Amino acid sequence: YILSMAFSFFGMRFIEESISDPIENTSGAMCSLMCVLFLGDKLDALVWVAIGIIAVGVVGIGFLENSGDLKRRQRLGKKLAIIAFCMPFLYAFIDAFGCVLDIYFLEMETSPLLAIGATEDTIEVIANTSYELTFALVGLVMFIFMKVKGIKFGSMVEQKDKALAAVCETAGQLTYVYAMASGHGNIAAPIISGVCVVSLVLSRIFLKEKLSKKHYFFIGIIIVGILMLAVLEGE
């Protein structure tokens, strides 16, 4: 998950959030496909339809990117533009693979790697604690690295926007795990998947991102597929 977030943050520097976030949220569809490939799961026909809808949207966005509608290649150069566009896909792939590992190690009753003493009542607490402590450790390592290298990053006041983002990310992870463990996943899943809709709106308001009508059309297709998949998986 740390690697996937690294790819995501790198891509954010060069690609519009309105595009990257819907693509990153296709990890749910990738996870479903990986479960079929690696865990032998069976998918309903409507789930395949939802995955197909997402694929159409992604292909459409990819076509528009290659057509140069956003002129990213002229701004960043061909190589960096391609790398930037690949970042949200790498995030989605790694995130999906991580979810498959979660399913295998945490839901398989015969798994030899279940946390010692973990039960259905405590597994979300253990998962959350492990997640947050891992990122805290990475943060500490990066802090030491920056100190050793003499990199100046300013005071907490100067970095208040990043501090607020970190708090929101942590709170989001906390509420996500408990929402999905509440027994009402059929309600929580579509709401959580709707984050790409919220991101699209906020990006337009605060980041002043303005895409072409074609971009919004294919992004809308992706969002429809994501919400459809979330509802079907939550049933």
179 is written with which tokens? 């929402």
Q: What does the DSSP 8-state code read for residue 207? A: S
**Which 3 state secondary structure label does DSSP give 62?**
helix
Say what the pTM is.
0.79
Task: Show pLDDT as tens, one digit a residue, over the chain (235 residues).
Answer: 778 888 888 888 888 888 898 998 898 889 889 988 888 888 889 989 999 999 999 988 888 876 654 567 777 777 888 888 899 999 999 988 887 876 676 555 445 545 556 666 666 677 778 778 888 888 899 889 988 988 887 777 778 888 888 888 888 877 877 766 655 555 566 667 677 888 888 888 888 888 888 889 999 999 999 888 888 866 6
Q: Residue for token digits 């795990």?
A: 177
Sort 103 into a burial class: Cβ within 10 Å, 0-12 / 13-18 / 19+. middle
Number of Cβ within 10 Å of residue 28's Cβ equals 22
